[in-house]
Amino acid sequence: MAASTGLVLAAGAMAFADRGLNRNEWDIRIPVATGAVALIAAGSEKITPQLGIGIGVLMVLGVFLTSGVRLIQYVSTGKPAR
């Protein structure tokens, strides 16, 4: 497994959990898009390892700053963040 795959899958899991728990919408497009981005990041890692890992890190950072904050609020309070 490529080094970027874990990062991309973690970001996809956070986005999927946020959408499902906070908005009560279990959107199948998120896992499909996450798989596609994981394949692209793993492929780009074959060309330049820093590029694939960079894509994964940027994805985790972006998802954490948007969905991660709401997910943390949900876990700490038990109520959806609207």
| Residues counted in the chain | 82
Number of folded domains that form the chain: 1
73 lies in a domain?
yes
Specify burial of residue 50 (Cβ count, 10 A radius: 0-12, 13-18, 19+): exposed
In a domain, 13, yes or no: yes
Alpha helix (H) ranges present in 1-82?
3-23, 29-47, 49-63, 69-77
For residue range 6-45, list pLDDT tens digits in order.
999 999 999 999 888 888 889 899 999 999 999 999 999 8
Please report whether residue 52 resides in a domain: yes
Q: What pLDDT does 79 receive? A: 78
Q: Is residue 51 part of a domain?
A: yes
- What does the alpha-carbon distance between residue 37 and residue 60 come to, in Å, rounded to a whole number? 12
The verdict on residue 82 lying in a domain is no
Quick count: other Cβ atoms within 10 Å of Cβ 24?
8
pTM here? Answer: 0.82
Average pLDDT taken over every residue of the chain: 88
